[in-house]
Amino acid sequence: MPTTQDDIATKLDLPWIRSQFPSFAEKVNGYPAAYLDGPGGTQVPQSVIDAISHYLKHSNANTCGAYATSLRTNETIAAARSAMADFFNSDSDEVVFGFNMTSLTYAMSRAIGRELAHGDEIVLTLLDHDANFSPWKALEECGVTVRQVAFNAADCTLDMNDLAGKINSRTKLVAVGYASNAVGTINDVREVVRRAHAAGALAYIDAVHYAPHGPIDVRALDCDFLVCSSYKFFGPHMGVLYGKRAHLRRLQPYKVRANTNDSPNRWEWGTLNHEGIAGITACVEYIAGLGRQLKPAVKTRREAILAAYDEIVRYERGLCDRLIAGLKTLQGSKIYGISDPKRFEHRCPTIAVRIGRHSPLELATKLGERGFFTWDGNYYALNLTEQLDVEKDGGFLRIGLFHYNTVQEVDRLLAALREIVAA
Ligand SMILES: Cc1ncc(COP(=O)(O)O)c(C=O)c1O
């Protein structure tokens, strides 16, 4: 059922979508809760909650036992691997489940570090979340040299010339974010992968922020690794890594002896979060379900996922446009990142802003009292806030828009900000 919200037309059935998320009934001081904190973690639909509790009720066991619930647990994990393979456009045995993106990246950096020698180089960016920075920087312990790519302060885009200059024949790995969790910039990761491979280096992509906002295709990107977190795309608190089969088999993980050496299990330590894994299948199905509503003729889950993102991207861009246009009218506001609507294809609807003398914490607190959930601070994009010189006074106010947000929420937020700033 197409929905028109003032001037943003979308084929997404917003009333149905919003009815799927029980947390949207929340109120704060009598105000309806507006979840604009999705970059820190999105809300989950009832189907994800049901899948998690269904697992705990009917399949709760450890893996590889010779009895019903254990066999069901094996099936639960296999189903989630298949769902994530459709999400990534990979094969199931290239999908690794973990605690979160940070711990998966530390595991991978330790393993890749075993292959590196003194004088080898790694290229990182100053636009990235610290989880795609510190785990690689730690390899300096092994004599590896870390090169840091700058970004353009005016619009917070990656400096691709600097990147080109930092990659050379000694480069063994380039780690880059698909999109910035602070300022929303979408990087040209296909080009970064091409440049890394031209130098014989591996490409490691942090897609945590990008995953709820756009389709991922690891085959088209040709990246060696890509990692994301299901709690950012309507699922449980877990991390998921894609790795090219050859790398997952060749690299040596740190692991206990009793753990199988089969890939991808060799990368999954101890007992996994089985109920979370059940929730992962459900969150991928939620996205695919949106696609099936929009395009009933789709034949595969992958096609359904792509159909969903087609409309998610379009709708979110409209919301982003409206929010940024409104923020620009607030006296003393400064938006960090791309703010020209003609270039919005290069950003996610994640907006970092500062407004006059008001600290981000003050704004987030006052908004929170009115039911608007936003973030203040650096959100671990520490290099970015330091480079932009906002770290010392509270970072930015971050407003994150998702396909489940509405024009009315954007308009109410702008009205609240106007009131707070005028007081
Ligand atoms: C871009 C980005 N990368 C990495 C992370 C870390 O993810 P996790 O909490 O799954 O370790 C985050 C978390 O906010 C993020 O936004």
Side-chain half-sphere CA neighbours of 169 within 13 A: 0
CA distance 298 to 296: 6
Neighbours of 399 (CB within 10 A): 30
* Span 113-140, pLDDT tens digits: 999 999 999 999 999 999 999 999 999 9
pTM of the model: 0.97
Mean pLDDT of 390-407: 97
CA distance 178 to 188: 8
Cis peptide before 32 (omega within 30 of 0): no
* For residue 274, pLDDT beyond 70: yes
Atom of ligand 1 nearest to the CA of 179: 1
Neighbours of 423 (CB within 10 A): 7
Tokens of 213: 């906002």
Residue nearest to atom 4 of ligand 1 (CA): 131
Any ligand 1 atom below 6 A from CB of 409: no
* Span 200-231, pLDDT tens digits: 999 999 999 999 999 999 999 999 999 999 99
CA distance 417 to 35: 16
Is the separation of the CB atoms in 283 and 230 below 8 Å? yes
Tokens of 422: 């005028």
pLDDT confidence of residue 6: 61
Q: What separation in Å is there between the alpha carbon of 129 and the centre of ligand 1?
A: 7
Best probe residue, ligand 1, of 96, 100, 208, 226 (max atoms within 8 Å of C-beta):
208
Mean pLDDT of the chain: 96
Is the separation of the CB atoms in 400 and 179 below 8 Å? no
Any ligand 1 atom below 6 A from CB of 177: yes
Backbone angles phi, psi at 306, to 5 degrees: -65, -40
Is the separation of the CB atoms in 83 and 234 below 8 Å? no
Mean pLDDT of 379-400: 96
Helix (H) or strand (E) holding 55: helix 46-58
pLDDT confidence of residue 8: 83
pLDDT confidence of residue 7: 65
CB burial readout 107-135, b (16+ within 10 A) else e: bbbbbbbeebeeebbbbbbbbbbbbbbbb
Best probe residue, ligand 1, of 125, 129, 273, 402 (max atoms within 8 Å of C-beta):
129
* For residue 4, pLDDT beyond 80: no
Any ligand 1 atom below 6 A from CB of 208: yes
Q: What separation in Å is there between the alpha carbon of 34 and the centre of ligand 1?
A: 22
